């Protein structure tokens, strides 16, 4: 594992601990947590462990690159969501973007068939697909 991947993994684990292991979003460039805007994923990676999930996300990121959303590099993030409502607490590790408007986030969510958008300011999950 390269130095960048190790540092990103440490940042994610640290953010998860700060957030009581419920989830987190970390910028791929600065490795800090964004606090404003809407987070929407453009990948779905499900894992049994945080380490494996992060490794899978980094593998996808390096093989596919990031899609062009017309955003600066700081918009791209890795997100971890631990769904404690599922047996064995399913862990979602997503490659995501942070956008300013709800409408843009919803457009991306629909395009990439995502269940929900996360409002960072309100710290609220907003479901966008009716069958979820």
**What is the DSSP code (8-state) at residue 30?**
T
Model pTM? 0.76
Q: Which residue has the higher pLDDT, 110 or 16?
A: 110
Domain edges within the chain: 3-127
Question: What are the percentages of helix, strand and coil residues in the chain, rounded to 5?
Answer: 35, 30, 40
Q: Is the pLDDT of residue 21 over 80?
A: no
User: Helix, strand or coil for residue 67?
Assistant: coil
**pLDDT digit string, tens, across residues 77-115:** 888 877 666 666 667 778 889 999 999 999 999 998 888
């Amino acid at each position: 594992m390269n130095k960048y991947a190790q540092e990103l993994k440490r940042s994610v684990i640290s953010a998860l601990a700060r957030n009581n292991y419920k989830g987190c979003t970390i910028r791929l460039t600065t490795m800090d947590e964004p606090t404003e805007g809407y987070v929407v994923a453009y990948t779905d990676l499900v894992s049994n462990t945080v380490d494996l999930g992060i490794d899978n996300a980094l593998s996808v990121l390096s093989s596919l690159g990031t899609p062009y959303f017309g955003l600066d590099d700081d918009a791209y993030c890795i997100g971890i969501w631990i769904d404690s409502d599922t047996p064995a607490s399913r862990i979602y590790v997503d490659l995501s973007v942070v956008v300013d408007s709800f409408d843009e986030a919803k457009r991306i969510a629909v395009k990439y068939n995502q269940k929900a958008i996360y409002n960072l300011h309100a710290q609220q999950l907003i479901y966008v697909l009716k069958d979820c």
